[in-house]
Amino acid sequence: MYIYDQYDQKLVDERVEQYRDQTKRYLDGKISEEEFLPLRLQNGLYVQRLAPMLRIAVPYGLMSSNQVRKIAAIARKFDKGYVHFTTRQNIQLNWPRLEEVPDILAELASVQMHAIQTSGNCIRNTTTDQFAGVAADEIEDPRPWCEIIRQWSTIHPEFAFLPRKFKIAVCGSEEDRAAFLLHDIGIQLVKNKAGETGFHVFVGGGLGRTPVIASSIKQFLPKQHLLTYLDAVLRVYNRYGNRNNKYKARIKILVKAWTPAVFAERVETEWAQILARDVDGVAQLTEHEIERVKTFFPLPEYQAVNETVANAALQAQAADSLAFARWLERNVRDQKQPGYSAVTLSLKPAGVAPGDVTDGQLESIANLADQFSNGELRTTHNQNIVIADVPKSQLFEFWQLAKADGLATPTIGTINDMICCPGGDYCSLANAKSIPVAEAIQRRFEDLDYVYDLGDLELNISGCMNACGHHHIGHIGILGVDKKGQEWYQIQLGGSANKNAALAKVLGPSLSRDEVVDGIEKLLHVYVENRLEGEAFLGTYQRIGMDKFKERVYAKDA
Amino acid sequence: MQKMLSHGTVVENDWTVLQMPVESVPQGNILLPLKYWLENGAEFDQQPGLVGVWLDSDEEVEALADDLPQLPVVALNFPKFADGRGFSSARLLRDRFDYRGEIRAIGNVIQDQLFMLQRCGFSQFCLADDVDLEAAAKSLNDFSDGYQTAADQAQPLFKRLRG
């Protein structure tokens, strides 16, 4: 993974001191509440329902085992011994003390981590595929590009006070695992006919109150121009994005108002002027720099493994243990390197808020990464953790250890692997609780045979229309709404975050908390009754439409 | 006399910022609103003091393109400090129009923005009256370097370090 040089380290250290001074001036009454708000947000600090919440950046989801151990230590020392993994691959502390945040940031800086721009109206953490580097369908490893974007966006002097938050995702593979079309900028790595790497650039995607799928504005951006082009997009947005109404301030609204074609033209004009100014091309990315960053993402030295023999050995182990077989089926994925697997550690056991882990579990995760991989792990936008490059011959041992620490719930990609925001239990924006709904669903569908029979099913829960739980792109989406002080839940169907991204449609009137799980169960019955051989929930919905689902859920009991 | 930061030091601010509608023009150095300047700029040839122009955050610096060589100061107003349009305006003044006069930040500008404002091309800063400017000035150096190209640096860090 990327290792800081003295410049990277100095910048993060200086940011800690800047924030320490800001906190001191705030506590001394020299900075008003209003002024302190964006300053603390740009360092990831929210003030929430019960306590402040600190969001720590995990650039493109990649962490070392040492960093994970540091997070565990911070959770113990400064918080209540657990942390939360978010849908943007970051980490949240739920109970830090405002006065201690500068000390937490200093601890983070000691392991090359920070909370810079994890909130506020600025460029946020760039996200990508959790299987980067090992996915069979990869065009190119997206992580070096994410790191180049990370550096460009960090303390960018022109774009710290944008109309609204700004999120960038990079997709380097055929299948999209980064929901990149639902970002303010979605960057897809492509190759031209000459085999050169470039970028297909999309803008204006996003969830929130007005979900939109991003539009293509540039089919092939040559790689050396990545940063100048991003400057052009951000400058157009910074100058012309809506600043009067925060609900109309995201770039998607500007792109829609102007049309993608006009927006693209404005960016081209701005970009042409930036390039004209840069006569010697000094602002362009150099081959040397691209190669330098790439050297930080080497693939491990893989041993030559006979895949057939390795698979036969695994099957023999699976035949002896149904639990191991289930875990293999759902939580383990082949890599492009024969003989190795990418394992997803589930952070979704029933009874725990999805994405929450304890300090002890964090240390176990770090140990697993050291023992079975190269000491690195990846956070996922589905709020789980991936450890790649695990030799197939060691999977059984891996599984036993992960299981002992409650990290091997064999439900990845099923209904019980839901994405879920912190909701009304923690978040001051929420209209309704989301964690108890997730738990109620997991309790109802405890029968793993039934869960497996349901197959691939993405269920996403958001406690309000800000959509942190990505309800618009769940095959089944649940949105918490407030009706006269009561918590209600709107059900949506048919969302999808892959390359054929689709936004879910509303099923019908909202259900009460008591009715939600029954409603979900009825939806599943309709699916099971109507599916074709091998057809997943989303496919059945797309084929038969909304009506049958709707009729069943809202049928009056006879 | 009010003070401001200019090139890192505290100086007297003897400029008057005029608002629309402009009814009378005082003696001394003045900053005219963009609209007024565009309509009446020619009348100020013989003004004894210095004449600059200020733009609000929703006004485009392109409107001043032809006038820049004669302006010693262009001020950019921040109606709210979180309104970041002035950052782009300053960069355009420096990078696109090669403006070499003073770019002054006026309005609701705060200490914690100084480093970034300076990188975007601002040279002068009018902070709130109760701010200790000497103390605030240290935020001009909150960071010792930056990754990006900006008005103060045509080359990104990687280029400077590694060619």
On whether any CB of chain B is under 8 Å from the CB of A273, the answer is: yes
Of the candidates B83, B142, B157, which has its C-beta nearest A243's C-beta? B83
Q: Tell me the C-alpha distance between A87 and B56, whole Å.
A: 38
Provide the token pair at A459: 């269920």
Chain B residues in contact with A239 (beta carbon < 8 A):
60, 85, 88-89
Provide the token pair at B137: 């000035």
pTM value is 0.95
Q: Which CATH superfamily is domain A419-554 in?
A: Sulfite Reductase Hemoprotein, domain 1 (3.30.413.10)
What's the pLDDT score for residue A557? Answer: 65
Q: Tell me the C-alpha distance between A365 and A83, whole Å.
A: 13
Say yes or no: do domains A6-109 and A307-404 share a fold.
yes
Q: How would you list the strands of the sheet with B3-6, edge to edge?
A: B9-12, B3-6, B124-125, B102-107, B73-78, B51-55, B29-33, B15-17
Which CATH number applies to A307-404: 3.30.70.2190, 3.90.480.20, 1.10.1200.10, 3.20.20.450?
3.90.480.20
Provide the token pair at A479: 């949105």
CB contact under 8 A, A159 and B87: yes
On whether any CB of chain B is under 8 Å from the CB of A259, the answer is: no
Q: For A18, which residue in chain B has the nearest alpha carbon?
A: B142
State the complex-level ipTM: 0.98
Task: Say yes or no to pLDDT of B119 above 60.
Answer: yes
CB contact under 8 A, B91 and A11: no
- In tens digits, what is the pLDDT along chain A, a chain of 558 residues? 999 999 999 999 999 999 999 999 999 999 998 899 999 999 999 886 667 899 999 999 999 999 999 999 999 999 999 999 998 899 999 889 999 999 999 999 999 999 999 999 999 999 999 999 999 999 999 999 999 999 999 999 999 999 999 999 999 998 899 999 999 999 999 999 999 999 999 999 999 888 999 999 999 999 999 999 999 999 999 999 999 999 999 999 999 999 999 999 999 999 999 999 998 999 999 999 999 999 999 988 898 888 899 999 999 999 999 999 999 999 999 999 999 999 999 999 998 999 999 999 999 999 999 999 999 999 999 999 999 999 999 999 999 999 999 999 999 999 999 999 989 988 888 999 999 999 999 999 999 999 999 999 999 999 999 899 999 999 999 999 999 989 999 999 999 988 788 999 999 999 999 999 999 999 999 999 999 999 999 999 999 999 999 999 999 865
CB contact under 8 A, A152 and B147: yes
Helix (H, G, I), strand (E, B) or coil at A238: helix
CB contact under 8 A, A286 and B150: no
Candidates B143, B152, B162: best to mutate against A (most CBs of A within 10 A) is B143
Contacts A–B by Cβ distance under 8 A: 116
What's the pLDDT score for residue B55? Answer: 98
Q: Which CATH superfamily is domain B3-162 in?
A: Aldolase class I (3.20.20.70)
Contact assessment for residue A30 and residue A21, using Cβ atoms and an 8 Å cutoff: no
**Helices A547-554 and A537-544, axial angle in degrees (round to 10):** 100
Domain ranges, ordered by start, for chain B: 3-162
Q: Tell me the C-alpha distance between B61 and B125, whole Å.
A: 18
Tokens 């509440």, residue? Answer: A33
Q: Tell me the C-alpha distance between A145 and A225, whole Å.
A: 12
Q: Tell me the C-alpha distance between A130 and A412, whole Å.
A: 14
Note the CATH number of domain A6-109. Answer: 3.90.480.20
What's the pLDDT score for residue A47? Answer: 81
CB contact under 8 A, B95 and A277: yes
Q: Confidence band (pLDDT; 50, 70, 90) for B158?
A: very high
Q: Tell me the C-alpha distance between A349 and A356, whole Å.
A: 10
Domain ranges, ordered by start, for chain A: 6-109, 134-294, 307-404, 419-554
Q: Tell me the C-alpha distance between B149 and B157, whole Å.
A: 8
How would you label A487-518 residue by residue, b for 16+ Cβ within 10 Å and e otherwise? bbbbbbbbbbbeeebbbbeebeebbebeebbe
Q: A134-294: which CATH topology?
A: Sulfite Reductase Hemoprotein; domain 1 (3.30.413)
With a CB-CB cutoff of 8 Å, which residues 38-97 of chain A face chain B?
38-39
Chain B residues in contact with A157 (beta carbon < 8 A):
87, 115-117, 119-120, 146, 148, 150
With a CB-CB cutoff of 8 Å, which residues 285-314 of chain A face chain B?
285-286, 288-289, 292
Of the candidates A31, A160, A227, which has its C-beta nearest B116's C-beta? A160
Chain A residues in contact with B57 (beta carbon < 8 A):
243
Residue B159 belongs to what H/E stretch?
Answer: helix B157-162
Tell which residue, A140, A148, A143, A75, has the closest CA to residue A108. A75
